[in-house]
A and B are shown apart, each in its own frame.
Chain A
């Protein structure tokens, strides 16, 4: 799973069967320090609560379809959680050290 930032949503009225009622979000993948990394993806919202600007984590490939209420739907990325906090103890120590210098 990777971290991502929700950039917006995608609305499609004509969809493959099984995708009715599924929300789609534009997600910018992030690196471990929450900086943008790579191309944006469209991900299904499996938590039904993720909104624009939120820090989330998402799962890719077949496991994304597993997050959907219906099995074997054509989904390759799914937001599976909203992140409250990423705690990287060493990074904080390093940042504090750099600040001192």
Chain B
């Protein structure tokens, strides 16, 4: 899983049925700052500016959404309150 920050929303009308959901554009955060971005499906109602936990693995993503097959990989699975690094 990855730590990300929600940067904004992606609005789309024409899409595959499975992706007719709330999509958020998230910056992926690394130890040295941003490491790219990914468009994620949101199942926890995260908002812009939230630090989130991003799951980027297809089988787990499908499990969360309750489907056996589907073109889905990145899902926001948590909103992070705090990260402690020693």
Contacts and interface: CB of A to CB of B under 8 A. Distances in A.
Contact of B10 (A67, A78, A86): A86
B15 A1 contact: no
Contacts of A32: 7, 25, 27, 37
A66 B7 CA distance: 27
B64 to A, nearest CB: 14
Interface size class of B (residues with CB under 8 A): 20 to 34
B16 A1 contact: no
Interface of A: 1-3, 31-32, 46-47, 49-50, 57, 59, 61-64, 66-67, 71, 78, 80-91
A36 B37 CA distance: 14
A49 B16 CA distance: 11
Contacts of A83: 10-12
B12 to A, nearest CB: 4
